[in-house]
Amino acid sequence: MVIHFNVDGHLACGHKGKHLTASRELNRVKCRSCRSTDAYKQARKDQRNNARRVARQAKTTHHAVNWRAEWTERLAAMAGRQRLPRGFARQAYV
């Protein structure tokens, strides 16, 4: 059975009928006409960009938090009076 792409209550390919199946889920769409429309291509592009953006933000946030904690632990573990870098308040010496 062919599944069409549903855009705002209408099929992207322009077919009409009461018994046609439609979906907003891009991976389920099988109609070649729907897949070649600008609406489907734009939705696919938006989905791909959102996934990349989320992955990039998760990677950046994780990395940004991690390096500071690791650096603090490394300096705290060093012997002697090692000065912490600027930006660490109320911790002049370890």
Which residue's entry shows tokens 């990395």? 63
- Name the band, by pLDDT with cuts 50, 70 and 90, for residue 57: confident
Q: Given this model, what pLDDT does residue 68 score? A: 76
Question: How far, in Å, CA of 1 to CA of 30, rounded?
Answer: 8
Q: For residue 30, with 0-12 CB atoms within 10 Å meaning exposed, 13-18 middle and 19 or more buried, which class applies?
A: middle
Statement: the pTM of the whole predicted model exceeds 0.75: no
